[in-house]
Amino acid sequence: MAHVPLPGSHRAALPGSRQVSPTDAAERMEVSVIVRRRAGAVMRSRVEAIAAGDRTQPFMSREEFARAHGAEAADLAAVRKFAVGYGLTVLEEHAARRTVILSGTAAQFCAAFAVQLHHMEHDGGTYRGRTGEIMLPAELSGVVEAVLGLDDRPQARPHFRLRPDAGKAGTPGTTGTARRHPAAAAVSYTPTQVATLYGFPSGTGAGACVALVELGGGFRPADLKTYFAGLGVGSPSVVAVSVDQAKNAPTGSGNGPDGEVMLDIEVVGAIAPEAQIAVYFAPNTDAGFLDAVTTAIHDTTRKPSVISISWGGAESTWTDQAKTAMDSAFQAAATLGITVCVASGDNGSSDGVSGGGDNVDFPASSSFALACGGTNLQAAGSTITGETVWNDGASGGASGGGISSFFALPSWQAGLQVTKTGGELVALTMRGVPDVSGDADPESGYDVRVDGSDTVIGGTSAVAPLWAGLIARINGAAGKPAGFVNPLLYANPSALRDVTSGNNGDFAAAAGWDACTGLGSPNGGPLGTLL
């Protein structure tokens, strides 16, 4: 059977990794196959209208979307036929998500997609890896857009930072030996105090659902009950949703992914205590990440109107097929009236990529994400006295931001300039990150509870749920979703607090949009009116 390359599927080995042995031929695995959508031009015209700021376009229901833009029955049937031919089992099939999940052995998948899978080792652990391109049977060329999960390397990292004295130096997810912000003493706030400082409009989020995407760790209901009782905001409804067999699985270590999960829930729950919080747990792979996002977007039971994502990785670590598939999912979210808030990363302008250079974090760099950068926030009482770019040095972390090397310049960013740290102004020619910002410095961090202990956490991981909680408040009060807000925010920058001091490495804050804090932090009253 003739095979052809799947565009965008090329994979390289992780830097410093080595092949140990071929993957056991009998190893069981699952793979997500993404097929093309029907009537793509119709959806593009709707998305283009939304992107142009046309808020007269009615949001589609999930049922309408599935009928108009889901997968064609014939395409799903073609994948099923292909699977049977190689002895693979169809575990799940979702027309709206355009996803078919296949199960089989490593040997069956190697034959089906003409790849070689190996057991790989690197400094961070082991993974099942592949290199080169995935090959498709010729009859599926143009039908299948992505094949994810053959390679199960960790795709993303959580973007949270413990305050140095709250975590163990050198532990993943902590700041290590961060220096204190030079302009201000260390402070901490509850999420409700941050909401008050930013002047969030009143509201509880009643009637809204916020989806949280988590790629590890878990939450303990007893900790949530204690935390929210201490804030006096009641106990939000929190439900765990399993994706690709992943579950709510607390590790017992606040330095690990539990810190991310608890931070996300506690920030959203404190700000929008009457919103339902749905936590979608998935494996930390490219397939798991996308499956969690599309499951949340097309969830006809909980129907989230806001999605908060605090995980990501440098654009260069993703295959083009995965970036395109995730961006397409975010476009679907825009047509459904869902706001997708994504942390922009905690490693400044380099995004932690060894060898230097500027890099942005994905999926924050998708044009259809509300990319959330970080600041250091100082206050006296209920008044903000200062706000600068979060930058605690190479070991302490800094607001992620810069210029995408993959996504084109969106119309709402046309005409903007990037300010370099040395003062040079450069025209923005590709997607700029972030869009907005908020308090993220661990030295002005959030009081949270993780695995039975109270601690202080920062990072842009806190900013995505901060904005998600704000949008949930607005949605609940309005009785309808705000939807894709980027074009509206760029057209009305006075609805944000411009941050003009500091840098994240190679980029500097400036009047108006910049590649450190975007348009700025929330200016609650005007934002509530605008949205």
Catalytic residue positions, numbered: 260, 264, 461
3-state secondary structure of 57: coil
Nearest alpha carbon to residue 23 among 132, 115, 141, 113? 115
Tokens of 232: 């006096």
**CA angle (375 as vertex; 340, 343 as ends), nearest 5:** 25
| Beta pairing, strands 3-5 & 417-419 | unpaired
Provide CB contacts within 8 A for 470, sequence distance 6+: 195, 198, 200, 271, 522, 524, 527
Alpha helices in 315-460 (DSSP H): 320-336
Task: Take residue 399 and report the two structure tokens written for it.
Answer: 């607001």
Crossing angle (nearest 10°) for helices 320-336 and 286-297: 10
CA distance 78 to 67: 19
Query: Beta strand 361-362 with 311-314: parallel, antiparallel or unpaired?
Result: antiparallel
3 state SS of 71: coil
Structure tokens at 453: 């202990």
Report CA-CA distances (Å) from 158 to 115, 211, 217, 309, 504.
30, 16, 11, 9, 19
The closest of 394, 212, 373 to 304, measured between CA atoms, is: 212
Location of structure tokens 């190679």: 506
Residue 277 and residue 270 in contact, taking contact as beta carbons nearer than 8 Å? no
Angle at which helices 320-336 and 40-51 cross, to 10°: 70
Q: How many CB atoms lie under 10 A from the CB of residue 287? A: 29
As given in the structure block, the two tokens for residue 463 are 């900013």
- Going 15 to 20 to 25 to 27, the CA torsion angle's sign is negative
Q: How many other CB atoms sit within 10 Å of the CB of residue 13?
A: 17
The span from the CA of 199 to the CA of 54, in Å, is: 27
| Distant-in-sequence, close-in-space partners of 23: CB < 8 Å, separation ≥ 6 | 106, 117, 118, 119, 128
- 5: how many CB neighbours lie within 10 A of its CB? 14
